[in-house]
Structure 1
Amino acid sequence: MVTSCKDDVEIPSSTQPPTISLQADAIAVANGNYILKAEGRSAYGGAKLRKVEFYKGDEKIGEKNIAPYTLTYLVTENIPEQELSFYAILFDVNGNSVKSDIVTAKVSVLPIRIEAENAVLRGLAKVATDPATRETSSNQAKVGAIDNAESGIDATIEIHTAGEYLIRVAAGSGFNDTSHKIYIDDKEAEAQIYNIPNLGWNVWQTFDLIFDLEVGNHKISIRRNSGYGELDYLEYSKR
């Protein structure tokens, strides 16, 4: 038997377990924070709540001893559409416990962007930050002067899961008959070509190319193929 603080009303003790619910989004973004929110309640007249433990699959990923019972999980999984499952267990001070329903989320892998000006410049290529460039470019800078076969950029990417990858290049040109070639790990003989229509300088167009990549570090190279073009950024993501 317990007594309430108001008017000394007696509340019957309870041996019923507490209850818990767990809420979370259906999408877990790779390399982002995923929020788990548990709500626990003791039975009427029941024991005080002690803690909530959080699990991903069978792995305990954290616990909270006081409300609000909210846990932030850093999503290290990076396979698109991979399904993750989570649940929580609530304990009271008498040793009673209850498990929540399982919530599931699918991993979403966002493209990883590399600004052209942050890559390694090759040949005549150079960074430009003039007013027109700052107005239209993604990081207020671009790489221009890609004026001969040796000119362009190199960028290193890290691949955690083997498979097909989409590489998206943002490029532009104010010159007719312009094209760039892109290749992986110095395999220039396997280069893919993208043609850049003449829409004017600082008018960015995107070009998608597909490469099979193994786990590990890879070098992406972009070079002049014909004409005169410029680069804003490149992105890569698993298909």
Structure 2
Amino acid sequence: MIAYNWPQYVAGAATAAGCAALSGRLPAPLRTLARTGAAAALGLLLSATAASWLVYDRSELYGYDWLEAVLPQVPAAHLVVATGLDEASDVLAARWPGSRQLTVDLYDPAVMTEGSVRRARRRVPPPPHALPGRPGALPVAAAAVDAAFLVFAAHELRRAHQRQQLFKECARVLRPGGRLIVVEHLRDSANTAVFGPGAWHFFPRAEWLRLAGRAGLSLAAERRIAGLVTAFAFTRGGA
């Protein structure tokens, strides 16, 4: 988390230090405001770091034991779609050695300009078998897989029409009764409380339901992980 987002940590620390340093030179009302700002910046740094540690290092998230609650049957074939950082294909391949895996990488440096994505990609390059793709053109045949995975991937598409294209493509490649698994932080009260303004990088629950509905997918299951991450299972054809 820190390695991918270190500029935000530097900015937060600098804000806290600057407000604290200036507070002693300001008149009383402004002094209180500066000290409050320093405390708020430091508090957000600590809460975001603690929440990230709990979710990514201490919870069941990357153990994928929660998966049975949203995908009860092992798929004969599954698709992993990444947008710069693939956090699922290795784990799923080890979990389901008999399931044929397809991996598609949608990373486009001209569109995905956030520094955290570039840093993550440098540290964890895509797997050698990953195929390049676009949100509206996945290199996968129709009805080819029983499950498709978007693990912290879809929110990196900041343009609404690209997210919609991706959901429609995922629906296209699913077999009847197949499931699209979407794992995301939500823009909700819990994430706002620990990430502050950073939670606006996430999308509300209603956005994921809207995208699925417009792609002809229905909500089959939903699981909250560590209180801050939500796993959705959307199914094709209401099966």
TM-score, length basis structure 1? 0.24
Higher alpha-carbon Rg: 1
TM-score, length basis structure 2? 0.24
Answer 1 or 2: which has greater strand percent. Answer: 1
